Amino acid sequence: MKTNLILITLSFLSSVLTATAGEPSKPYTGSAEFEKMKTLAGDWQARADMGQGPMTVTTQYRVIAGGSAIEEPMFANTPKEMVTLYHEKDGRLVLTHYCMLCNRPSMTLVKSDAKSLTFDLAKDSEIKVDTEKHMHSAVITFVDADHVTQNWTLFDHGKAQQDHPFQFERVK
């Protein structure tokens, strides 16, 4: 009798846990700037010159992790693939850029307005600013629902070296 009661209890608990495991949690809602970034979800392409002549650059913004992060891969499936993850830290929009330069600068939102978000290297970033070549800042400008520009600034030995501008268009 005890064995049957234990089996029935375990069966009941198993079915309850299985039923609730699939229930979606409430999607994450963040700052106005983070929610604006979420509007980019989808496929995008741009023409850019990365030092070897004009080429097509594609990216796909994906809202992941219950709505608490945004993934942006560039040069997917190539040796130069990079990924930028946008998320919030202490209620503020930040990004971590996993770069083809084999480093990962972290940037914090330092300025925003209705059309643009400006990021700069975070004080707690692991980058050695005086000696390490790295992406130091980025500006994302929302032109309209189907057009967005990005301008990334490369630093080397503590000084700005060059900008990497992208003019993305939503792929429909």
pLDDT of residue 3: 59
pLDDT of residue 79: 86
pLDDT band at 31 (very low <50, low <70, confident <90, very high): very high
d(CA 20, CA 67): 19
Work out the burial of residue 15: count CB atoms within 10 Å of its CB; fewer than 13 is exposed, 13-18 middle, 19 or more buried.
Answer: exposed
**Three-state secondary structure call for residue 51:** coil
Least confident of 11-15, 57-61, 79-83, 126-130: 11-15
pLDDT band at 157 (very low <50, low <70, confident <90, very high): very high
Mean pLDDT, to the nearest integer, of 117-121?
98
Name the one residue in this structure whose structure tokens are 């209890």.
Answer: 9
Mean pLDDT, to the nearest integer, of 119-147?
96
In tens, the pLDDT along 61-84 reads 999 999 999 999 998 888 889 999
pLDDT of residue 10: 45
Could you tell me the domains of the chain? 30-170 (2.40.128.20)
Percent of the chain with pLDDT over 90: 73
In order of 29, 36, 113, the CA distances from 69 in angstroms are: 10, 12, 21
Mean pLDDT, the chain, integer: 88
**Three-state secondary structure call for residue 15:** helix
